[in-house]
Chains A and B, each alone.
Chain A
Amino acid sequence: MLNVDEIRKDFPILDREIHGKPLVYFDNAATSQTPQQVIDVIVVYYSKYNANIHRGVHTLSQEATDLYEQARIKIQKHFNAKHSHEIIMTSGTTHGINLVASGFTAFLKKGDEIIISALEHHSNIVPWQMLCERTGAQLKVIPINQEGELILSEYNKLLSEKTKLVFVNHISNALGTINPIETIIEKAHQVGAAVLVDGAQACPHLVPDVQDLNVDFYVASAHKICGPTGVGMLYGKDEWLQKLPPYQGGGEMIAEVTFEKTTYADLPHKFEAGTPNICGGIAFGAALDYMNAIGFDAIAAYENELLEYATEELSAIDGLKIYGTSEHKTSVISFNLEGIHPYDIGTILDKMGIAVRTGHHCAQPIMDFYKIPGTVRASFAFYNTKKEIDALVSAVNKAKMMLS
């Protein structure tokens, strides 16, 4: 069991008041809040260790390098990657996806196919459209059903020897659906396709084991897991990362440079051109430490309790419709009130100190599917409480009264 009262003390921002009301932060799917333990690591880094890494012979540089590489190992262990060089530090999920999409330019030709899902975030659609434009490959989309789940029989029909890459999110940001990535990966491998999974929304709630999943690439962002913004990771199987051409040129990623020819550095540095977000990387490691100390099983169980409670309480409001009703979902509730624009609800909730997301959640195709302009999305983290959900429910009732 989680001691939520104690946990809340770790998050200074939760003491804030918004428009004179206590902040109720339900926009965790957009970004999570940062515990003091992670903030301290950032402060200590800049107070004691700040230096450029991987090149200086001086002590500070070596200490900073050690901290950064230790963070990589923490990330490797967390995701159970076989080697630490299979962890590429990125600026976030989008960077990781673009790195893979750019690299696959070398492997694709006209007539090849890439499969993505209808549950994707914009950032997950555009890089593949660009890749298709560059190579003449075709984009295929796995459709969803009314519950917001991928239709696997349709996925099976899309797969063929033309399929070179399958890309899905582990959990949908707009609806919270947990996708059956084990099956998706296995089926893709049967036709010889590689699989990239976007774990941005999954990593706050569960621990993906990349070896167990047998996934080829997996990407995540630190800022959804209590870490800072601007840093993330790309896991890639050693054999894939060896084959994939470098994404950006610059310092750190080279072994030898003459005007005639450059040889690239070994993994992971081949993909880490320029000075990285050193402090961010170290804080990413600290964030994983923080969450692992609480324990992901306890986190998931508690968040599920919050989800069930909120689903029950919100469903009791007349005219409220929840989108994404899969049995397999995380603590995200996307909803609308009949005849009321989500933007209006979000504006009133903000006035009452409640932070939710409104709009299409960068997932316009999903909104088109349900024929709605957007939704109000409340997403819960392990530091939220049932009392806060009560505040949300009463605020939604008030918004309904004002707006109807």
Chain B
Amino acid sequence: MTISEIKNDIIEEFAMFDDWEERYQYMIDLGKTLPLIDEQYKTDENIIKGCQSKVWVHANLENDKVVFTADSDAIITKGIIAILIRVFSNQQPKDIIEADTDFIDAIGLKEHLSPTRANGLVSMIKQLKLYAIAYQTQLN
């Protein structure tokens, strides 16, 4: 699936929810169920700075596609990561670099993009894109 197909799927899923409680409960459940990262990658070097909760991101290039795994010690953050990974992981570097993040607004999570939230969603996206840029350079 392409990034925009996945984004559309997510927007559709979130459209089913009536209120914030259902949206957040869904994210919490996503956060709880997904095994996101191999323990060996939960190192200090893989921590994203600027997060109130800890976030670890690990990237790997497989068949010219970037595979992301990540984790957090806060469950809502973990839910957000799960959504981001669904969108960005297993995609070609150039598609990741070009992708926009307007779907976050569309699924009612815009407040998490505000820098004052300090949850690092912005830093997280930046980090995913930086990995993609690095791999793109490698592929060229």
Q: Considering the chains assembled together, what is the distance between the CA atoms of A403 and B74 in angstroms?
A: 10
0/1 interface trace, chain B 37-75, chain A, CB 8 Å (1 if under): 000000000000000111000000000000000000111
Q: Is A122 an interface residue (CB 8 A)?
A: no
Judging by beta carbons under 8 Å apart, are B25 and A343 in contact?
A: no
CA distance A341 to B72 in the complex (A): 10
Alpha-carbon distance between A35 and B67 when the two chains are bound, in angstroms: 53
- Determine the chain B residues whose CB is within 8 A of the CB of A403 once the complex forms: 28, 75
Q: Within the complex, which residue of B21, B53, B54, B119 is in contact with A402, where a contact is CB–CB below 8 Å?
A: B21
Answer whether residue B24 sits at the interface, using C-beta atoms and an 8 A cutoff: yes
Given A358-B52, A359-B118, A403-B28, A344-B20 contact (CB < 8 Å): no
- Which of B25, B52, B75, B119 lies in contact with A374, CB distance below 8 A? B52
Instruction: Across the interface, name the chain A residue whose C-beta is closest to B112.
Output: A347
Given contacts A359-B118, A373-B73, A403-B75, contact A343 B24 (CB under 8 A): no
* A347-392 with Cβ < 8 A to chain B: 347-348, 351, 358-359, 373-374
Question: Is A82 an interface residue when CB atoms closer than 8 A count as contact?
Answer: no
- Mark interface residues in A391-404 (1 if CB within 8 Å of B CB, else 0): 00000000000110
Q: Does A83 contact B (CB under 8 A)?
A: no
B91 located at the interface, meaning its Cβ lies under 8 Å from any Cβ of chain A in the complex: no
* B76 CB-CB contact with A under 8 Å: yes
User: Smallest distance from the beta carbon of A191 to chain B beta carbons, Å?
Assistant: 41
Q: Which residue of A lies closest to B118 (CB)?
A: A359
Please, which residues of chain A bring their CB within 8 A of the CB of B54? 373
Contact pick for A348, options B24, B52, B118, CB 8 Å:
B24
Contact check, B53 vs A343: say whether CB atoms are below 8 A apart: yes
Q: How far is the CB of B30 from chain A (nearest CB, A)?
A: 13
A19 located at the interface, meaning its Cβ lies under 8 Å from any Cβ of chain B in the complex: yes
Residues on A with C-beta less than 8 A from B89 are none
Pairwise interchain contact A344-B25, C-beta atoms closer than 8 A: no
* CB contact under 8 A between A341 and B74, given known A359-B118, A373-B53: yes
A-B pairs, top 3 by smallest CB distance, nearest first, are A341-B74, A343-B74, A343-B53
Interface of B with A (CB < 8 Å)?
A: 20-21, 24-25, 28, 52-54, 73-77, 118-119
